[in-house]
Structure 1
């Protein structure tokens, strides 16, 4: 009997011990979950702060990687991202010196090195969809004027200069475009939040005149194939009204194409020294059929020119 009681007592003790250990393990698990939750919450809070968002933007600028810039959420054009790929030098030694938060707006003061000089700037961030995002104070606005042309390029990126260039902070070489026809460039240091103006002394490459001449020759040869009175785009003026009341047929023959000279500003041209023969058949003022030939031995045309990419567009007067 006593042995049986002893066995029962030992079994009961083992059961109580298991229950105690079960409680201890459960309590430890709860503590671990709470601690893990606090760590996750603290980490999330830190990564979701305006300071960390500003730091992330600075690190993205230092990296030179467009994907890192896009990950910050800042709104930036595809052209600016493409230009960033060709930056001459990048932001370095960047740090956030102070941050002020007011509701869904924050202001971060930052310092960095760019173009062999130390700089300071102020970044404005806004809270959107649960995260802090830099606004356009993180970009530079650069207005470019040029003596020739209406576009510039940074690497493979092409910008029209009718509007300021919105660029990611970096140092760039800005060249007049298209490079096949125009020559001229200047270095630009684009600082966050800064508005800058710069001018490029540009000039024509020999290929520019050749391109305009080729395009003009094509247009005039199209006019030569016409069998009606020329349109305004042909640069042809025939005083047929003095001999003819109506024109039924026209035959053009270009004996010499006029030679192009570009204006200094690159927006217009004059082509002179051409020879054109036009034979018109129609009705004379007395009602009879008549054929009259006109010859211009110093045929000249004028027009406007624009370069887009490697294409040349002409408007002939």
Structure 2
């Protein structure tokens, strides 16, 4: 009886001891080594929520959008990450780490600071990318580029998490020109993308010009401005009353080689002018133009192509 009682007491102590160990393991703050490995694991898994929870400071609104959307659309995340060295100092702990990015082992170092029992990312843990889009000349084309799922500005550095990113000239579908860029913390990357217009760009531009030409040729009391229409009604009429148009051929769009200007030529339009002659009579005259043309500039803003006639 006594032996049984002793065994029972010992078992009770063992259970209590195991429970205490489990409670301590669950409640103790993570070590800096744990936090470093957690960050690298999240980076490898593409787990932005886990990474974001570890970030100590926020970027401005546009930079946050680019960071988040670009990572969501990465071609590939880092692989086989590992901690190389951990070096604590007074304000932060520097972590030297590496991972495979596009098949090459690259630096993905970062720093952590103790924020009341949790470890927060700090220091230069982000990569830097600057993209310039060109179209056969040294002059930049457009103001934006796609990085992953983010529309980012060209000609300036954007901050991104280490990963491999698809980069594409904007607007997608209207401009060709793309690259896959591996980014790490071992140096800022600057790339140039050669872009050219797609057949879809010509079709989209022609559609917009067709609509513009239709607006130009609505019945009007005067000759419409910025429409490429030259109607010599003053040779026959002292006062113009109205103009009515019939379009036989809409001008056909052609882009310049530098994609910065356009010319739409070969249009045919017939204008019928009604007004008062120098003799005071009401009369109608018809004028035909076989060289109707529209010219102007092309700009790429954000993910849009804009044509301006002038």
Tell whether the structures are fold-level matches, with TM greater than 0.5. yes
Pick aligned residue for 1:264 from 257, 262, 279: 257
Q: Which residue number corresponds to residue 101 of structure 2?
A: 114
Contact 2:170 2:303 in 1 (8 A): no
For structure 2, the 5+ residue unaligned runs are 1-12, 136-140
User: Secondary structure at the residue paired with 2:229?
Assistant: coil
Tell me the CA shift for residue 197 of structure 1: 0.9
Q: Rg bigger for which structure?
A: 1
| CA 93–29 in structure 1, closer or farther in 2 if over 3 Å, else same | closer
Q: Which residue number corresponds to residue 146 of structure 1?
A: 133
1:168 matches 2:161: yes
Q: Which residue number corresponds to residue 100 of structure 1?
A: 88
Whole-Å separation in 2 of the counterparts to 1:263 and 1:136: 46
Whole-Å separation in 2 of the counterparts to 1:106 and 1:41: 22
Contact 1:227 1:249 in 2 (8 A): yes
Q: Any idea what the Cα deviations from partners look like across 1:64-96, whole Å, max 9, x if unmatched?
A: 233333332364634443333443332223233
Q: Which residue number corresponds to residue 307 of structure 2?
A: 314
Tell me the CA shift for residue 291 of structure 1: 4.8
Alignment map for 1:193-272 (pairs within 5 Å): 194-229=187-222, 231-238=224-231, 247-272=240-265
User: Secondary structure at the residue paired with 1:94?
Assistant: strand
Q: Which residue number corresponds to residue 69 of structure 1?
A: 51
TM-score normalized with structure 2 length: 0.74
User: Secondary structure at the residue paired with 1:182?
Assistant: coil
Q: Any idea what the Cα deviations from partners look like across 1:20-73, whole Å, max 9, x if unmatched?
A: xxxxxxx9999999978865664x152xx4x54443322211112333333323
State the Cα RMSD in Å. 4.1
Q: Which residue number corresponds to residue 70 of structure 2?
A: 83
User: Secondary structure at the residue paired with 1:102?
Assistant: coil
Moved more, 59-68 or 307-316: 307-316
Q: Any idea what the Cα deviations from partners look like across 1:205-264, whole Å, max 9, x if unmatched?
A: 222212111211111112212424355453435566676665432222222111111122
Q: Which has the higher helix share?
A: 1
| CA 247–65 in structure 1, closer or farther in 2 if over 3 Å, else same | farther
Whole-Å separation in 2 of the counterparts to 1:314 and 1:270: 11
| CA 247–305 in structure 1, closer or farther in 2 if over 3 Å, else same | same
Q: How many equivalent residue pairs? A: 295
Moved more, 156-165 or 278-287: 278-287
Q: Any idea what the Cα deviations from partners look like across 1:261-282, whole Å, max 9, x if unmatched?
A: 1122323211111122333344
1:190 matches 2:183: yes
User: Secondary structure at the residue paired with 1:77?
Assistant: helix
Tell me the CA shift for residue 170 of structure 1: 1.0
Q: Any idea what the Cα deviations from partners look like across 1:101-141, whole Å, max 9, x if unmatched?
A: 433x4533222222222223542445667644324722222
Whole-Å separation in 1 of the counterparts to 2:281 and 2:293: 32
User: Secondary structure at the residue paired with 1:197?
Assistant: strand
Moved more, 292-301 or 183-192: 292-301
Q: Any idea what the Cα deviations from partners look like across 1:184-223, whole Å, max 9, x if unmatched?
A: 2212111136321111222222222121112111111122
TM-score normalized with structure 1 length: 0.72
Whole-Å separation in 2 of the counterparts to 1:33 and 1:310: 59
Contact 1:249 1:281 in 2 (8 A): yes
Q: Which residue number corresponds to residue 58 of structure 1?
A: 40
For structure 1, the 5+ residue unaligned runs are 1-26
